[in-house]
Amino acid sequence: MTLQEELVSLLHKEIKDAADSELYEACLEIVRQRSEQIPTVQGTKKVYYISAEFLTGKQLGKNLINLGLFDEMDRILKDNGKSLESVEAIEKEPSLGNGGLGRLAACFLDSIATLNLPGDGIGLRYHYGLFKQQFIDHKQHEIPDEWLDGSNMVRKTDITFPVQLAGKTYHSRMYDMDVIGYKGNKNTLHLFDLDTIDESIVHDGIQFDKTNIEKNLTLFLYPDDSDRDGQLLRIYQQYFMVSSAAQLIIHKEKEAGHDLHRLDQYVAVQINDTHPSMVIPELIRLLMMEGIPMKRAADIVNNVCAYTNHTILAEALEKWPLDYLGEVVPHLLPIIEGLDYAAYCAFSGNPDLMIIDEQNRVHMAKMDMHYSRSINGVAALHTEILKNQELKPFYNIYPQRFNNKTNGITFRRFLMHSNPQLTNLIDMLIGEGWKTDASHLEELLRYYNDENVLEQLENIKYQNKVRLANFIKEKENIDLDPNSVFDVHVKRMHEYKRQQMNALWVIYKYMQIKNGALPPRPITVIFGGKAAPAYKMAKNVIHLILCLQELINNDPEANKYLKVVMIQNYNVDKAEKVIPACDISEQISLASKEASGTGNMKFMLNGAVTLGTADGANVEIRNLVGNDNIYVFGRSSDEVIGLYNTSSYHSSDFYYRSNSIHNCVDFITSEQLCAIGDPAMLNELRDNLINKDWFMTLLDLESYCAAKETALMDYENRAWWKRKMLVNIAKSGFFSSDRTIKEYNNDIWHLR
Ligand code: 26Q
């Protein structure tokens, strides 16, 4: 049967007569059937990537690409007056992550399968994911994200495991999603859930009874943990996930007849940040139940596990009160205490190295570092900071465990799927080898002086901007000019990422325009990102941006030159629409704070030029493209770390010293903005900038404005700019997650 015949037979009608929703079901079914026919990756050693988040994005288009069916399906639908794009729009995006860490996990699964390495993901099947973001009265509101409504690739299995929570037995059920490699075999993402979850207990946005574990356990990712019940719920979730994982692993190994004493010959476990850390004591516990003494079990687990750190922000390093753990997982307590005692004996009670601190809190990262064979950071700078600052006491005792694995992204999604025109151009110029070996992209440098190719690049960018403008018109009813510069700042809202600094630049530009200093070309500033529901300052920044959007876009004197859009509910789907349309990629975190960033890589790959600090992977981008093809500004990570160590940054100094900073900051609470927004929120934000500014916005504001001015001027030199685009694309091969995964495998997992 041809693909077209298959489609018709599933539809029971002609393609031209089918609705998009019917076509979606039929396409999904075809993917399922094809996937069933391709083999699971085989091997004697397998990695389990355990993560609280898997931000997989929509599956249909990506699976069609990896199965080699996308172009044919696209053509069949077109020939029948339909569009694959509209069919893909029917799918709901699995909302199983919050940001970089979750998207990284999804990219890694794609690369592991593509490289034909045996490796499964393990996570949770959150019914409402993180949350869905809505803007009402220029503020973020949170509502449940009903991603499970409708058909998807996640299927229920009949596999369950008993999990002890607070002395009661619950049964975790495994759901599976095929992870189909590009022209390769498949692996599985296992998502665990409880059968008894009751979605009807959610009310008033995302509120629910936090004590009713049977009904609430997997409703949301990162439920509010501002009180005791919320923290307990996090522990319940984490243990539920890792106990299911550990049982699955041990069960499979026993079934295969493997000697559990040699578990490290068959299994590697990658711990994605500290959320899955309890897998260490849980695996030890299960091995002890198989008759292995604790010391031996701990040694075995130590050789199996590897830990990835994604942050140096203190508030993100999890520390759980021992008595909370005692309440939820009393059976793990003797093991955790035993591990702590072993560290006490080995390191003469050095408090820096203890798992349990003087206040009886369990430091999950410290447990990870003592009981993992590998400890890695996610970009070169980040790993150096871990070794020399944040985790120095551990680097001193375990130097050989520390290693860097600079993050990567899958080009199958973030170029082939999101930017088909650029994909075609690259194929035409250098062939298709880059799809499996991204270093081939460097061959594009041959066209550095090829006017024709440069013009095509520019045309593709323009068309992507038109497409985004149409999308924003449809979704937000805002008119954008595709001839303006698209300056894009999309990522989770956090003070360290400094969206507030870009907002201050918007104010600066607005005041300039009002004073008659007009830019050579209109500028469109595009924001997008969710704030954690309890994170007040991040919500204040969203509020400021939405108020600026209202003020500026409706000011006829200014809106010809400047527009602001904040995209609602930024997710993977929207990322794929925004990124190909970007000219200037904003990566302006306070140096030392962004572990890596991966958005920066996606923009670069799509021909945007980075405006950023020397932070995270930006440093590696600069080393690859050279200073002519990136705009780097601001204090260095060493300077910033010095300022923190000596407590010598006072934002008020910067506020009072510079008139222009003063004016921009004061504009936040101007009559005009207060007439649009909530004066209390705007005041709180302004006060914070003047009196606290923990992430040093005012420190870098002037150098940021200067660098951005240079970038905007350079944009006018079109001949130059097109070459910058080309160099960025050509040098992005290093950031393929295929490269990252090869490094994980060579240095840590050694899969066979
Ligand atoms: C911890 C404790 C209590 C509550 C929440 C958390 C928590 C939740 C989520 C801590 C961290 C996260 C997510 C972190 C994250 O996404 N980090 C990003 O990881 C990317 C992949 O490595 C990096 O590129 C980014 O730089 C990093 O910010």
Dist CA 350 CA 333 (whole Å): 21
The tally of domains found in the chain comes to 2
Mean pLDDT taken over the chain: 98
- Does the CB atom of residue 595 touch ligand 1 within 6 A? yes
Whether residue 288 is contained in a domain is answered as yes
* Two tokens, residue 302: 């130590």
Nearest CA to 567 out of 542, 604, 586, 536 is that of: 542
Residues 403 and 514 in one domain: no
CATH number of residue 348's parent domain: 3.40.50.2000
| Tens-digit pLDDT profile for residues 684-700 | 999 999 999 999 999 99
Residues 444 and 402 in one domain: no
pLDDT computed for residue 724 by the predictor: 98
Whether residue 598 is contained in a domain is answered as yes
Residues 402 and 416 in one domain: no
Q: Which domain holds residue 386?
A: 42-56+96-143+156-171+199-407+740-749
pLDDT computed for residue 95 by the predictor: 86
- Does the CB atom of residue 99 touch ligand 1 within 6 A? yes
- Note if 497 is an active site residue: yes
Residues 424 and 399 in one domain: no
264 Cα to the center of ligand 1, angstroms: 28
- Does the CB atom of residue 181 touch ligand 1 within 6 A? no
Q: At what angle do helices 618-625 and 718-730 cross, to 10 degrees?
A: 110
| Tens-digit pLDDT profile for residues 608-636 | 999 999 999 999 999 999 999 999 999 99
Whether residue 8 is contained in a domain is answered as no
Nearest CA to 190 out of 54, 66, 301 is that of: 54
- Does the CB atom of residue 316 touch ligand 1 within 6 A? yes
Residues of the chain above pLDDT 90, percent: 99
pLDDT computed for residue 316 by the predictor: 83
Calculate the dihedral angle through the C-alpha atoms of 704, 709, 710, 716, rounding to the nearest 10 degrees: 150
Average pLDDT rounded to a whole number, residues 298-320: 95
Residues 260 and 392 in one domain: yes
Average pLDDT rounded to a whole number, residues 257-283: 98
Residues 351 and 321 in one domain: yes
Residues 448 and 565 in one domain: yes
432 Cα to the center of ligand 1, angstroms: 34
CA 609 to chain centre: 20
227 Cα to the center of ligand 1, angstroms: 20
Confidence of residue 314 (pLDDT cuts 50, 70, 90): confident
| Tens-digit pLDDT profile for residues 114-164 | 999 999 999 999 999 999 999 999 999 999 999 999 999 999 999 999 999
Confidence of residue 315 (pLDDT cuts 50, 70, 90): confident
- Does the CB atom of residue 276 touch ligand 1 within 6 A? no
| Tens-digit pLDDT profile for residues 402-418 | 999 999 999 999 999 99
* Two tokens, residue 444: 């594009």
DSSP string, 133-180: EEEETTEEEEE---TTSS--S-EEEEEEEEEEETTEEEEEEEEEEEEE
Q: Choose one of 221, 231, 310 to mutate for the ligand 1 pocket test, by most ligand atoms within 8 angstroms of C-beta.
A: 310
| Tens-digit pLDDT profile for residues 179-198 | 999 998 999 999 999 999 99
Dist CA 49 CA 107 (whole Å): 12
pLDDT computed for residue 124 by the predictor: 98
* Two tokens, residue 358: 């003087």
Residues 324 and 418 in one domain: no
Average pLDDT rounded to a whole number, residues 224-228: 93
Residues 518 and 579 in one domain: yes
pLDDT computed for residue 183 by the predictor: 95
**Which residue do the tokens 């698209």 mark?**
486
Whether residue 360 is contained in a domain is answered as yes
Whether residue 719 is contained in a domain is answered as yes
**Which residue do the tokens 């077109």 mark?**
78
101 Cα to the center of ligand 1, angstroms: 6
* pLDDT higher than 90, residue 85: yes
Residues 377 and 420 in one domain: no
Confidence of residue 488 (pLDDT cuts 50, 70, 90): very high
Tell the residue nearest (CA) to atom 24 of ligand 1.
597
Nearest ligand 1 atom to the CA of 382 is 26
Residues 354 and 429 in one domain: no
Average pLDDT rounded to a whole number, residues 234-241: 98
Average pLDDT rounded to a whole number, residues 385-389: 97
Instruction: State the pTM of this model.
Output: 0.98
Whether residue 656 is contained in a domain is answered as no
| Tens-digit pLDDT profile for residues 197-218 | 999 999 999 999 999 999 999 9
pLDDT computed for residue 147 by the predictor: 98
- Note if 752 is an active site residue: no
Dist CA 681 CA 487 (whole Å): 26
Residues 283 and 375 in one domain: yes
Whether residue 724 is contained in a domain is answered as yes
344 Cα to the center of ligand 1, angstroms: 29
| Tens-digit pLDDT profile for residues 534-592 | 999 999 999 999 999 999 999 999 999 999 999 999 999 999 999 999 999 999 999 99
- Note if 598 is an active site residue: yes
Whether residue 682 is contained in a domain is answered as no
Q: Choose one of 54, 220, 225, 273 to mutate for the ligand 1 pocket test, by most ligand atoms within 8 angstroms of C-beta.
A: 273
